[in-house]
């Protein structure tokens, strides 16, 4: 029996409880990860931020009316 069919076999109330629990677990993880990184001194430096900005793709918008004259 697959995980999905096991989930579908649960009652509606239990599925709602499982869904809410997963959402709460994810939210807790997002906040706990940030707090743990701050306590461990793993905050990014300005050099790290600049290196990341260099790797970030840039989007250049070209107006079509300029190219079809």
- pTM > 0.85: yes or no: no
Q: Return the pLDDT at 15.
A: 96
CA distances from 8 to 1, 4, 11, 23, 25 (A): 11, 6, 8, 18, 21
Per-residue pLDDT of the chain (69 residues; tens, 9 = 90+): 799 999 999 999 999 999 999 999 999 999 898 888 888 888 888 999 999 999 999 998 888 776 565
Q: Return the pLDDT at 68.
A: 60
Q: Return the pLDDT at 44.
A: 85
């Amino acid at each position: 029996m697959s995980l999905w069919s096991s989930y579908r076999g649960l009652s509606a109330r239990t599925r709602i409880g499982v869904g809410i629990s997963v959402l709460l677990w994810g939210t807790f993880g997002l906040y706990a990860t940030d707090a743990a990184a701050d306590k461990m001194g793993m905050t990014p430096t300005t050099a790290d931020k600049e290196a990341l900005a260099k790797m970030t793709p840039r989007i250049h918008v070209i107006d079509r009316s300029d190219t079809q004259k």
